[in-house]
Amino acid sequence: MKRTKERIDFAHPAHREGISGLTYFDGEDDVRPARVKQQIEETKFWIDRQKEEKKMKDDIDKKEEMLYGKQDIANNILLGGSQDSLMQNRRMIAKSCADTNKELFKEKKNRDKNDKDRENKTDQDDLNKFTLSKEIKWSA
């Protein structure tokens, strides 16, 4: 025997009286159109809500992307400025090193020239002494 659900508002199927066409049978779906309509409305509501949430999420993502872009540009400008100042400092250091090297080269050149002049003078003095001593020996 098939088991059926008993409802409180209806008597047991065996004790019901009435015309069979108007009798409510267990399992009969009288509210199906209303239920389907409600499901369609709920589905539309949830779809609309999901669309709104997606739009809000996309707007938030777009704003975050714009903020990130602005921050990135600001960072690039700041980094570019610091890189420019770094390059300027490096150029100044290189120029200073070049100037120092030129001065050191001039000093070394002058020292070498003075040393060579001193050596030539010493050699000339030695030669003069030697020549003078030879002349004295020859003349004596």
Q: Which residues contact 20 (CB under 8 A, 6 or more apart)?
A: none
Question: What is this structure's pTM?
Answer: 0.41
Least confident of 36-45, 66-75, 118-127, 129-138: 129-138
The HSE-up count of residue 74 (CA atoms within 13 Å, CB side) is: 6
The structure tokens 């267990």 sit at 26
Q: Please, which pLDDT band fits residue 73 given cuts at 50, 70 and 90?
A: very high
Mean pLDDT of the chain: 85
Written as six digits, the tokens of 130 are 């030697």
Predicted local distance difference test score (pLDDT) of residue 103? 96
Predicted local distance difference test score (pLDDT) of residue 1? 47
**90-114 pLDDT, tens per residue?**
999 999 999 999 999 999 999 999 9
Task: Give CA separation, 14 vs 5, 6, 7, 29, 138, in Å.
Answer: 13, 11, 13, 20, 171
Domain residue spans in the chain? 13-113
Written as six digits, the tokens of 41 are 């409305």
Choose among 61, 60, 57: nearest CA to 49: 57
Does position 68 have pLDDT exceeding 60, yes or no? yes
Computed over its alpha carbons, how large is the radius of gyration of the chain? Answer: 55
**15-42 pLDDT, tens per residue?**
656 555 555 556 667 788 899 999 999 9
What integer is the mean pLDDT of 61-67? 96
